[in-house]
Amino acid sequence: MGYAVTTLSSADIELKPEADVTRVLRGKVPGVNINQTSGLAGSGTNIIIRGYTSISGSNQPLFVVDGVPFGSSTSPDRGALGGNATASSRFLDLDPNNVAEVSVLKGLSATVLYGEAGRNGVILITTKSGTHNNKNDKMSVFVEQGIFVNQIASLPQDQDFYGNGFDNAASGAFSNWGADVRKPGAQGTNLDADGTIAHPYDRAAITAFLPEYKGARYAYKAYDNLQGFYQKGLISNTSVGASARVDKTSINFTFSHRDEEGFVPLSKLKRNNLSLGTNTTLANGLTLTSTFNYVGIDKTAPPAGASTSSNPDGAGASSLFSNVLYVPRSVDLNGLAYELPNHTSIFYRGGNDIQHPLWTINNTKDLEDVNRFFGTIGARFSVTDWLSLNYRLGVDTYSQKNSYQINRGGPQVPDGLMVTSNRTNTIMDHNLNAQFNKSLTESFNLDAVVGVNLRTDNLDRTFTTSTNQFVYGLFAHNNFITHSNSSDKYDEKLLGAFATATLGYKSYLYLNLQGRNDWTSTLEKDNASVFYPSASVSFVPTEAFTGLTNNKVLDYLKLRVGYGTSAGYPDPYRTRSVLSTSTRNFVTGTGTVINTNSVSNFFGNINLKPEIHKELEFGIDAKLFKNLIGLEVSVYNKKSTDLLVNLPLDPSTGYNETAINAANINTNGIELGLTVNAIQKKDVNLSFNANFTTVDNIVEELVDGVDQISIFSIFTTLGSFAIAGQPYGVIQGTKAVRHENGQRLVSSQGLYASDNNLNLLGNPNENYTLNGGFNFSYKGFGLSALVTYQDGGAMFASLPSTLMGRGVLQETDFDRFVPVIAPGVKADGTPNDVQTSSINHYWQNGGVFIDEMRIYDASYWKLREVGVSYKLPSSLLEKTPFGSATITLSGQNLWFKALGFPPGANFDPEVSATGVGNARGFELMNTPTSKTYGGTLRFTF
């Protein structure tokens, strides 16, 4: 092999608490950045291999399961503000306990077999039922049962002495800058000598229905809010499988059931996986293989709209988490009643503008139902012992139904809402090829594949939005008063012809040449065809030079260099202009419905071309000191040109968007892997392993006339951008207004002002990631751990800055009567000497109002996994029907420390509020993370 591949076996993947197979790979594969969106059950995962090379398209890798492409997209119904961090990625449908092997192909030269969809890397998964290599005649069965506890990992440490209010007086404010609970009766604080205030529900709107609150008093003290709100959920994984061989046929079968409860009642996942694989050899040299898989998923999630300091920011958005984490210390989140008898939400605010989180739990949900079938049928015919013909058909079809339900009565969406969507996605993949493997002479060996590949993708979607709920509690579209619907479909075909040949000289020099020509249906005829070749050379000096074989230091050395190319195609229907049509734009006073036509604001680009990627890679694989040390190094440079961009246009061009080839990106990276097998004895084994990854992604240039392209926009003044000369995805946002001399300008009130403009704030890409772990075993007992360190990476985090700005975090336990002088200069340039209250300074001058104040360095340490296992000695099992019995205990995300954040925030930076996509480095108060621990019992028969 001339290219970089990392392979993990089932031992690294199975028996872990995660539902998502990619999350199990975290920390184990250099060059691959796997980032969960949140810790909620079934939430999506962002996978970036060797950096970002697409601005408007997808940077996610191709999944290939048992040799055929596997639909792996994440399809949220709402954008980042509405809350897409809970949307699931479709590789959640894979059962980690049914995975025999995962290979990650990182370089472009490895992807010519899979077409342009593999340009961001390929994750090759072989399922246990797809392995087809059951050689023994004996039938074997296994049963596994795992139980894990799932609890919230990222709870902040709050101070316990100041309560709800502002300017040191108790009141029903959003913030926690109120009275000191240790000084009841202090003047001007509204806190009585007995430590009580008027009950927040002692107001006409509530006492009209609940008279018991009239004149009631309320204890003003620190309540156990967060600990009482989050729960410990239970995860149960049951797996049964069997494999048998009868004559020339082998059958492999697995069934898994997963039941996962999250750390809030609304977070749940149920999954059933059924998998069957067969392999038959017929008399005339024909081998037939097949796999059939069915998955059913039932997922519930809470609404998770984004928020930057208070209620959810998106228009009409709803969120469970936006008002939980900064809830004032003296507000009894779990004790205060959450609804009136007519089901209206009530909470401590006089104007009732904060939705009670318990009302959200009882009145909203985001449901998802997925049914999926995927399978392959393959035939292999051995023409001679050196030539075989293969045909494989892959079918992957899923239907995903989502239903977002909100009852009326809550301040976030007062009239109620029901949004349902239905997606049906089908991929059919035909692959016909001839494989050739022959020794041409005594020294030369040729291995070649020539083939054709046809892939079709169909996506059908319908959406229905209903507002204005009629009868409370009934979620059917006919129970809503106003409706709007839409539907669309996307069809795409890709035809590829490919050839790959590896010429081997003796067993130490290999030359590999590959080429593929793709024809796509998404570009106009002149630009629809692209040819991309690759070449690589690998040389094994330890085999070549007799002087090197059998030496004490170097057991094995391989040097490799490869040059790979790939192309990228746009999404369907981007080349032609259309007519914008719309119905029901306006209804006149007499009830006439007005429908409209309009010149579309999308400027179709007939000349759209494919994007081109070229990569040069060097690598060294070495084993030293009798397999004591293993070392793998890869260094690469990737140039991506003519990148496809959905470019916003200045409206004075008459349009506001077009699709264009508009950018070049240059990527450099280094990947290192180290294994130290310290002890390798019969009963005792100890090995250490580490990997190191660094990626440098720079946007080289953009098309003339454009100086920045928005990759992801959160607000008009905040987002991720591609800017010539800057790293990909650099964050821009507002800064405090500066004096000419560069220092922050302080007003006569002692406050900063936001400049309301886009400034460069930070690079969200880390400098490097280091993972290290060990594996120890003694007879049947095993112990392992994996630690991750990420260096650098800027993050825009709303939660820690909101907790500071509102006076909740333990770091705000200071005497609030002491005034503060904000660092900076006055309008005349002299150092600021204007005092302002500490409350004004921490609230107004902090990140809530000025984006640059909530950019943190996201370097962190994390204890990713810990595992203990014990395999019962076979002597104990002789009289039982069991062949083997193993118990494994494992814990995940048990400890972490984010170095750039206030320690009390206990912040976990491994989240992505922008969901699966091209933006990173944003946290918007809607992505709590979890830690899990528990064990699995596994029996084989």
Partner 1 sequence: MKIFNKYLVISLLTITFTSCEFDLLDSPNEVGPANANIDFLLANSYLTFNDLMTGVSNNTMGVTRLVTMQANVYTADNGPQTWDGVWENAYANLIPDFDLVIVKAKESGITFPEGVAKVLKAYALTTMVDIFGDVPYTEAFLGTSNFGPKADKGADIYAVSDKLLDEARTILAGHQQEHWLMICIMVVLLQNG
Binding site for partner 1 (CB under 8 A): 381, 383, 389, 391, 430, 432, 434, 452, 454, 488-489, 491-493, 495, 519-522, 524, 528, 572-573, 575-582, 585-586, 588-589, 594-601, 603, 605, 649-656, 658, 660, 703-706, 716-717, 756-757
Do 567 and 592 touch, CB atoms closer than 8 A?
no
Name the residue nearer to partner 1 (CB basis): 493 or 897: 493
CB atoms under 10 Å from CB of 469, counted, come to 23
Name the residue nearer to partner 1 (CB basis): 148 or 712: 712
Name the residue nearer to partner 1 (CB basis): 456 or 468: 456
* Alpha-carbon torsion angle 838, 841, 844, 845, nearest 10: -150
Name the E strands within 155-248.
165-166, 169-170, 196-198, 217-219, 233-246
Strand, coil or helix: 420: strand
Do 561 and 512 touch, CB atoms closer than 8 A?
no
Name the residue nearer to partner 1 (CB basis): 391 or 505: 391
Name the residue nearer to partner 1 (CB basis): 228 or 654: 654
Name the residue nearer to partner 1 (CB basis): 445 or 521: 521
744-781: string of b/e by CB count within 10 Å (b at 16+)? bbbbeebbbbbbeebeebbbbbbebbbbbbbbbbeebe
Q: How far apart are CA 709 and CA 57, in angstroms?
A: 13
Least distance (Å) between residue 407 CB and partner 1: 32
Q: Which ranges of 302-424 would DSSP assign to H, the alpha helix?
A: 357-363
Name the residue nearer to partner 1 (CB basis): 716 or 875: 716
Least distance (Å) between residue 36 CB and partner 1: 33
Instruction: Report CA-CA distances (Å) from 871 to 226, 641, 940.
Output: 40, 53, 11
Q: Which residue from 890, 932, 893, 863 is spatially nearest to 14, judged by alpha carbons?
A: 890
| DSSP result, 774-803 | EEEEETTEEEEEEEEEEE--EEEEHHHHHH
The phi and psi torsions of 713 (rounded to 5 degrees) equal -115, 125
Least distance (Å) between residue 703 CB and partner 1: 8
Enter the tokens of residue 104.
């990650």
Least distance (Å) between residue 385 CB and partner 1: 14
Instruction: Report CA-CA distances (Å) from 711 to 75, 625, 694, 723.
Output: 18, 48, 22, 10
Name the residue nearer to partner 1 (CB basis): 341 or 586: 586
* Alpha-carbon torsion angle 15, 20, 24, 26, nearest 10: -170
Least distance (Å) between residue 756 CB and partner 1: 5
Least distance (Å) between residue 660 CB and partner 1: 6
CB atoms under 10 Å from CB of 743, counted, come to 16
Least distance (Å) between residue 604 CB and partner 1: 9
Q: Which residue from 106, 102, 147, 148 is spatially nearest to 3, judged by alpha carbons?
A: 106
Least distance (Å) between residue 493 CB and partner 1: 5
Name the residue nearer to partner 1 (CB basis): 586 or 818: 586
Name the residue nearer to partner 1 (CB basis): 5 or 528: 528
Least distance (Å) between residue 422 CB and partner 1: 16
**Is 488 exposed, middle or buried (CB count within 10 Å of its CB: 0-12, 13-18, 19+)?**
exposed
Strand, coil or helix: 811: helix
Do 431 and 459 touch, CB atoms closer than 8 A?
no
Name the residue nearer to partner 1 (CB basis): 384 or 550: 384
Least distance (Å) between residue 701 CB and partner 1: 15
Least distance (Å) between residue 391 CB and partner 1: 8
Name the residue nearer to partner 1 (CB basis): 137 or 488: 488
CB atoms under 10 Å from CB of 72, counted, come to 24
Least distance (Å) between residue 450 CB and partner 1: 10
Least distance (Å) between residue 494 CB and partner 1: 9
As separate numbers, helices (DSSP H) first and strands (DSSP E) second, the chain gives: 9, 45
Least distance (Å) between residue 742 CB and partner 1: 20
Name the residue nearer to partner 1 (CB basis): 133 or 716: 716
Name the residue nearer to partner 1 (CB basis): 585 or 627: 585
Least distance (Å) between residue 840 CB and partner 1: 16
Instruction: Report CA-CA distances (Å) from 422 to 32, 170, 487.
Output: 32, 49, 9
Q: How far apart are CA 43 and CA 430, in angstroms?
A: 31
Name the residue nearer to partner 1 (CB basis): 62 or 494: 494
Name the residue nearer to partner 1 (CB basis): 473 or 651: 651
Question: CA 195: distance to chain centroid?
Answer: 46
Name the residue nearer to partner 1 (CB basis): 136 or 607: 607
Name the residue nearer to partner 1 (CB basis): 557 or 706: 706
Enter the tokens of residue 607.
């000349």
The phi and psi torsions of 362 (rounded to 5 degrees) equal -90, -5
Q: Which ranges of 470-591 would DSSP assign to H, the alpha helix?
A: 541-544
Q: How far apart are CA 746 and CA 737, in angstroms?
A: 9
Least distance (Å) between residue 654 CB and partner 1: 4
CA angle, corner 263, sides to 260 and 268, nearest 5?
35
The phi and psi torsions of 867 (rounded to 5 degrees) equal -145, 145
Q: How far apart are CA 563 and CA 109, in angstroms?
A: 6
Least distance (Å) between residue 308 CB and partner 1: 17
Give the list of residues 6+ apart from residue 486 with CB closer than 8 angstroms, or none: 462, 463
- Bridge-based pairing of strands 5-9 and 32-36 is unpaired
User: What is the H or E stretch that residue 22 is in?
Assistant: helix 21-24
Least distance (Å) between residue 287 CB and partner 1: 15
- Bridge-based pairing of strands 768-778 and 855-857 is unpaired
CA-based R_g, the chain, Å: 30
